[in-house]
Amino acid sequence: MMVVRPSLSGVLTEQVLGLISDSGLQPGDRLPTTRELAQRFSVTTPTLREALRRLEATGAIEMRHGSGLYVGADIERIVLPNPNMRSMPGGQLLDLLDARILIEPPLAGLAAGRPGAEELRAVLGEAARHLSGQDAELHEANMTFHRVSARLAGNSVLEEVVDSLLSVHAPEQREILRIYDDRRRDYDEHLTILEAIEAGDARAAEELMRAHLIDVKTVVQQRLM
Amino acid sequence: MMVVRPSLSGVLTEQVLGLISDSGLQPGDRLPTTRELAQRFSVTTPTLREALRRLEATGAIEMRHGSGLYVGADIERIVLPNPNMRSMPGGQLLDLLDARILIEPPLAGLAAGRPGAEELRAVLGEAARHLSGQDAELHEANMTFHRVSARLAGNSVLEEVVDSLLSVHAPEQREILRIYDDRRRDYDEHLTILEAIEAGDARAAEELMRAHLIDVKTVVQQRLM
């Protein structure tokens, strides 16, 4: 775990977070300028910028070049993907897939019969349009399918966990897609999961999601051997 | 999700991460000084410090006052607790507990029969010493019990997820302990879980952990009403 240090930068970070919550600012809302904030907290601009970079790194604010400071979309998240991940050792990737195998199937079950399946169908339509071509777009649609399935279950914390796991292994996922060319199978498996969710069949949705993720793990294991 | 911006600070962050991995530096190892790094990457010290604060905020490095820069313990984590959490709305807290109810019981089941149960017994001994007193120490021992149970299951990613969830709701947990004074019940439930793990009884360990966490959620729900 991270150790909390009472550095000036840490104190300033708390002050900016306090300003955001005391002013009732929401993600996307604009913050005062760097200069105004430095004056308000009686620090130099470089010192303030150190605190702002801490907040930027953890998604609490966005620093848009030439435009200013905004409250970040991730400020109220519980968990964050590590933005510093470079490459993942094989063992860690298999642990990550086992984590997905534990978490995602029950979420697919919870999603069954809840509102929002039409969004999932739209995502799959997007995947269909890229089946015979663009890796990047197909990959994006496939990842979105898993994110939206998790979101439909209605638990914001588990949605963040799934989002974090998907974000961190996106590079490996793209590579799998390129090597194995299993576009059609992925698509077909996603379609059967969608149909179970649309039909409100929780047990089938859960089992199909589990089987699908075990398939993904098998592909990764073969690649690692 | 966080948006990646090609700022100078972002480029520098990548360069420092590259230096760490190219040099084979491990958590706890010392980095060059701020001045040396600024020279190496041809930037001013304030600009370098912005990049270092980004890495510090996400646990990739530690900046120890008067001592220097070290590789951080969290550099290879997949998921991180959001360090900016202030207070948690009730609905989010219940989602968090549902997340724990999904994840922790199967991990207790996996822990059963694997090596390391003696560490868990030592943690419980620590809790026993604080049963009639110190809130902070008892709380710490109780949280450690859940962290170690998750670790014994042997999946590093799920261990990080559980650690992140526990870190973020530590303040609420401490409050529950104070209000409900359910020290003894918590301890007794932890003890039955430990005994199931020691006995290698996966099914009992899983069911007892689930019942325990559902109890915790019930207490929180009563408090929220």
One domain, residues B95 and B63: no
One domain, residues B56 and B142: no
One domain, residues A147 and A100: yes
Looking at the predicted structure, is the pLDDT value of residue A223 above 90?
Answer: no
**What confidence score (pLDDT) does residue B37 get?**
96
**What confidence score (pLDDT) does residue B177 get?**
62
Give the tens place of pLDDT for each residue, A19-61: 999 999 999 999 999 999 999 999 999 999 999 999 999 999 9
Residue B192 within any structural domain of the chain: yes
**B99 vs A51, A55, A158: nearest CB:** A158
Q: Which residue of B has its CA nearest to A73?
A: B1
One domain, residues A114 and A209: yes
Give the tens place of pLDDT for each residue, A5-21: 457 888 999 999 999 99
Residue A14 within any structural domain of the chain: yes
Residue A216 within any structural domain of the chain: yes
**What confidence score (pLDDT) does residue B4 get?**
46
How many structural domains are present in chain B?
2
**What confidence score (pLDDT) does residue B2 get?**
46
One domain, residues B38 and B149: no
One domain, residues B168 and B121: yes
Q: Give B123 to chain A, closest Cα distance, Å.
A: 18
Chain A residue numbers with beta carbons less than 8 Å from the beta carbon of B104 are: none
Of A64-78, A114-128, B59-73, B127-141, the poorest mean pLDDT is in B127-141
Q: ipTM of this model?
A: 0.89
Q: Give A91 to chain B, closest Cα distance, Å.
A: 9
Q: Give B118 to chain A, closest Cα distance, Å.
A: 23
**What confidence score (pLDDT) does residue B89 get?**
82
**What confidence score (pLDDT) does residue A175 get?**
66
One domain, residues A203 and A97: yes
Residue A225: which pLDDT band, with cuts at 50, 70 and 90? Answer: confident
Residue B113 within any structural domain of the chain: yes
- State the Cα–Cα distance between residues A57 and A3, nearest whole angstrom: 16
User: Is A158 within 8 Å of B57 when comparing Cβ atoms?
Assistant: no
Residue B84 within any structural domain of the chain: no
**B81 vs A75, A79, A158: nearest CB:** A79
Give the tens place of pLDDT for each residue, A178-211: 655 577 888 999 999 999 999 999 999 999 999 9
User: Is B59 within 8 Å of A106 when comparing Cβ atoms?
Assistant: no
**What confidence score (pLDDT) does residue A170 get?**
75
Residue A85 within any structural domain of the chain: no
Q: Which residue of B has its CA nearest to A46?
A: B46
Q: Is B13 exposed, middle or buried (0-12, 13-18, 19+ CB in 10 A)?
A: buried
User: Is B54 within 8 Å of A55 when comparing Cβ atoms?
Assistant: no
Residue B96 within any structural domain of the chain: yes
Residue A107 within any structural domain of the chain: yes
One domain, residues B66 and B95: no
User: Is B79 within 8 Å of A82 when comparing Cβ atoms?
Assistant: yes
**Mean pLDDT (chain A, rounded):** 90
| CATH number of the domain that residue A111 is part of | 1.20.120.530
| CATH number of the domain that residue A21 is part of | 1.10.10.10
One domain, residues A67 and A96: no
One domain, residues B138 and B192: yes
One domain, residues A63 and A94: no
- State the Cα–Cα distance between residues B73 and A35, nearest whole angstrom: 34
Structural domain containing residue A129: 90-224
One domain, residues B189 and B97: yes
Chain B residue numbers with beta carbons less than 8 Å from the beta carbon of A50 are: 46, 49-50, 53
Give the tens place of pLDDT for each residue, B10-36: 899 999 999 999 999 999 999 999 999
